[in-house]
């Protein structure tokens, strides 16, 4: 999944690229750990973050979010979507502590998009 500098990208565009690449299983926080709706739950030790996409928007608060691309120890690759800042709602469910415990792959590539008046571009 390659995004070239200067390419206009939105959260929904990244999610669509993940869907096309069959990496669209959403990891959601549950009392048992991260689940994808298939009855299996994962602990932080069974997961690693392989890429992050961060969206920062002054004009649109919904763009202040991050997508974690996550690989499970059984080969499943999916994502977890998190809002941050004023719109983060994970205070009581343990999400923040859980995500911090997941190992980040050494080659993790963080792609940052800023909402600018003229377009939405990656920050180098």
**pLDDT tens for each residue of 102-121:** 999 875 556 655 554 344 44
Listed by start position, the domains of the chain span 11-123
Per the CB < 8 A criterion, the answer to whether 25 and 19 are in contact is no
Predicted confidence at residue 42, as pLDDT, reads 97
Tally Cβ neighbours within 10 Å of residue 48.
17
Burial class of 80 by CB neighbour count within 10 A (0 to 12, 13 to 18, 19+): buried
The alpha carbon torsion through 52, 36, 47, 54 (nearest 10 deg) reads 10
Predicted confidence at residue 46, as pLDDT, reads 97
- Within a 13 Å sphere around the CA of 2, how many CA atoms are in the beta-carbon half? 1
What average pLDDT does this structure show over 25-40? Answer: 93
How far is 66 from 43, CA to CA, in rounded Å? 20
How many H-runs (helices) and E-runs (strands) does the chain carry? 2, 9
How far is 104 from 71, CA to CA, in rounded Å? 10
């Amino acid at each position: 999944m390659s995004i070239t500098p200067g390419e206009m990208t939105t959260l929904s565009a990244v999610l669509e690229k993940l869907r096309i690449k069959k990496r669209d299983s959403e990891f959601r926080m549950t009392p048992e750990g991260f689940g994808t709706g298939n009855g299996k739950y994962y602990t932080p030790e069974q997961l690693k973050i392989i890429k992050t996409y961060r969206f920062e928007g002054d004009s649109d608060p919904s763009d202040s979010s991050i997508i974690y691309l996550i690989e499970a120890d059984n080969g499943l690759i999916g994502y977890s979507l998190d809002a941050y800042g004023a719109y983060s709602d994970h205070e009581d469910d343990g999400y923040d502590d859980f995500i911090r415990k997941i190992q980040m792959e050494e080659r993790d590539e963080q792609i940052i998009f800023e909402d600018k008046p003229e377009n939405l571009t990656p920050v180098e």
